[in-house]
């Protein structure tokens, strides 16, 4: 115990647990066990802070209310970034969301063969769809794209086999995920060929000749989140597969549907047709589904992945698997996919529809219509500019853009916007029609708050 009288006075001034809990229930007593538990935690934290010398005066009721919120909250994406990693990447199609709800309610035939009553395989749910959509002999889904790449290299090139990669493809993507580290963790040995900007077929041929007694594997990695332009050269997938060694082709974002906006993305079907042993791609980027990693390719290569010990650690859960299967089913009909999968719909939205959304939002908030550039995001198509209207808020209507953005982030629901040239922008490309009213209400409330004296 401390003898500091000032500290003792501040500790005694803290509310009792039941009184703080009652504030969470609008003063109604008795309060729930959940409110009492949260009040206890908040008060314990506050006592520790005071004993550590804290001299602030926080709103303990607000702190407690924040703790009562669910771990994740629905937010409105007004950034114009379609595949926003911080906001969960691809929003699910209605059919995928329903599939998740169905799989979550009660039990599901995740690993049960209903025909004979024996234990089945969870990847059987996606296998036929993956074969149908890509032309591959077999397919397997795991829990994320990085896991798919790791499993592919481990299954085909573990035990110190050489993996030959162009130096220009030894990339790092978000979160510090580096291709050389993946190869090392998989137990394989990296062999670099070519230079940062130019790699020729002859570079691969020399490396294959030098490593011929070690059964080398070729790895091609798509430069997802950047582009090398100018004096560049790379080897196409057909020529690479023609060298005779097994090829792992990491095509990145998973473009299954042909859209003009996706012309620069490597095709999964092209990779399979060329003869890649394994092709890896993401389920939650341009495919428009949940977080997942997908491997398709030759039957023996997929079976090697399926048997590898890492497959158990990387297996996909029933809820993302349900969403993935529903999303893949939508891709059977490309026209339907373009309408029903939000990511694809946002990429191809009619300019007149965008204009109408922006006008509606501006009229409801007093904002100014401006021309803006949206982005695909998620490490896909980094050079693609999606031009369209946005709604801007600048002085004198919004004298403090940073404060306005902060108020919007903490609203209910939170609205995430972006700041450009000192103005706060809300981009309607990433707002659904039924979200515009909520976004407008959030902006009006935030503008009123910024106008009020602090």
pTM value > 0.75:
yes
Mutual angle of helices 5-12 and 33-51, in 10-degree steps: 170
Q: CA–CA separation, 245 vs 219, rounded Å?
A: 10
What is the widest separation between alpha-carbon atoms in the chain?
82
DSSP E strand boundaries for 246-292: 247-252, 278-282
Name the β-bridge partners of 315.
Answer: 142
Q: Are 297 and 146 in contact (CB under 8 A)?
A: no
- What pLDDT was estimated at residue 90? 92
**The token pair that represents 352 in the structure block:** 């007149």
Question: Domain residues of the chain, as ranges?
Answer: 7-66, 76-85+344-451, 94-339
Name the β-bridge partners of 295.
Answer: 140, 280
Backbone angles phi, psi at 166, to 5 degrees: -65, 135
DSSP 129: H
DSSP 85: G
- What pLDDT was estimated at residue 29? 47
Distance (Å) of CA 342 to CA 79, 176, 278: 15, 28, 28
Q: Are 82 and 259 in contact (CB under 8 A)?
A: no
- What pLDDT was estimated at residue 436? 95
DSSP 255: B
Q: CA–CA separation, 301 vs 420, rounded Å?
A: 48
| pLDDT tens, residue order, the chain (454 aa) | 557 888 888 898 899 998 888 887 664 445 688 888 889 999 999 999 998 888 888 888 888 888 877 678 899 999 999 999 999 999 999 999 999 999 999 899 999 999 999 998 998 999 999 999 999 999 999 999 999 999 999 999 988 899 999 999 998 876 677 899 999 999 999 999 999 899 999 999 999 999 999 999 999 998 876 777 778 899 999 999 999 999 999 998 878 877 777 777 888 999 999 999 999 999 998 899 999 999 999 999 999 999 999 999 999 999 999 999 999 999 999 999 999 999 999 998 999 999 999 999 999 999 999 999 999 887 777 778 899 999 999 877 667 888 899 999 988 899 999 999 889 999 999 999 999 999 999 999 999 888 766 5
Peptide bond into 30 cis (omega under 30): yes
Which CATH number is associated with domain 76-85+344-451? 3.90.1150.110
Quickly list DSSP for 207-219. HHHHTGGG--EEE
Burial 340-358 (b: 16+ CB within 10 A, else e): bbbbbbbbebeeeebeebb
- What pLDDT was estimated at residue 349? 92
Quickly list DSSP for 334-391. HHHHHHHSHHHHHHT--HHHHHHHHHHHHHHHT-EEEEEEEB-BTTB-TT--EEEEEE
**The token pair that represents 256 in the structure block:** 């299954």
Tokens 């003792």, located at residue: 8
- What pLDDT was estimated at residue 338? 92
Q: What is the CATH architecture assignment of 94-339? A: 3-Layer(aba) Sandwich (3.40)
Strand order in the sheet with 386-393: 368-374, 386-393, 423-426, 418-420
């Amino acid at each position: 115990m401390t003898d500091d009288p000032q500290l003792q006075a501040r500790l005694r001034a803290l509310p009792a647990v039941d009184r703080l809990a009652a504030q969470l229930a609008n003063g109604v007593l008795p309060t729930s066990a959940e409110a009492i538990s949260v009040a206890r935690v908040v008060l314990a934290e506050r006592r520790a802070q005071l004993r550590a010398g804290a001299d602030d005066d926080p709103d303990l009721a607000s702190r407690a209310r924040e703790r009562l919120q669910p771990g994740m909250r629905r937010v409105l994406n007004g950034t114009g970034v379609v595949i926003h990693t911080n906001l969960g990447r691809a929003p699910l199609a209605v059919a995928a969301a329903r599939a998740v709800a169905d799989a979550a309610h009660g039990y599901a035939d995740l690993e049960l063969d209903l025909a004979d009553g024996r234990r089945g395989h969870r990847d059987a749910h996606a296998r036929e769809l993956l074969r149908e959509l890509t032309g591959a002999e077999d397919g397997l889904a795991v829990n994320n794209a990085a896991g798919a790449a790791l499993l592919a290299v481990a299954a085909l090139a573990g035990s110190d086999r050489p993996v030959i990669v162009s130096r220009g493809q030894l990339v790092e993507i978000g979160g510090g995920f580096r291709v050389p580290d993946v190869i090392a963790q998989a137990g394989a040995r990296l062999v670099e060929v070519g230079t940062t900007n130019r790699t020729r077929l002859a570079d691969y041929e020399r490396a294959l000749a030098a490593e011929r007694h070690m059964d080398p594997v070729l790895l091609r990695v798509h430069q997802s989140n950047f582009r090398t332009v100018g004096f560049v050269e790379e080897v196409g997938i057909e020529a690479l597969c023609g060298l005779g060694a097994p090829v792992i082709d990491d095509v990145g974002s998973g473009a299954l549907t042909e859209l003009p906006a996706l012309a620069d993305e490597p095709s999964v079907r092209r990779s399979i047709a060329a003869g890649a042993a394994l092709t890896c791609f993401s389920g939650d980027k341009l495919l428009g589904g949940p977080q997942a990693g997908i491997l398709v390719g030759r039957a023996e290569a997929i079976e090697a992945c399926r048997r590898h010990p890492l497959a158990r650690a990387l297996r996909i859960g029933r809820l993302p698997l349900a969403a993935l299967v529903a999303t893949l089913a939508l891709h059977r009909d490309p026209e339907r996919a373009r309408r029903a999968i939000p990511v694809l719909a946002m990429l191809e939205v009619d300019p007149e529809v965008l204009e109408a959304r922006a006008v509606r939002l501006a009229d409801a908030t007093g904002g100014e219509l401006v021309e803006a550039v949206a982005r695909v995001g998620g490490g896909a198509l980094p050079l693609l500019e999606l031009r369209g209207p946005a709604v801007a808020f600048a002085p004198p209507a919004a004298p403090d853009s940073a404060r306005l953005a902060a108020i919007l982030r903490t609203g209910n629901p939170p609205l995430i916007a972006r700041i450009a040239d000192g103005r706060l922008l809300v981009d309607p490309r990433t707002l659904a029609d039924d979200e515009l009213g909520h976004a407008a209400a959030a902006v009006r409330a935030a503008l009123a708050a910024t106008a009020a004296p602090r």
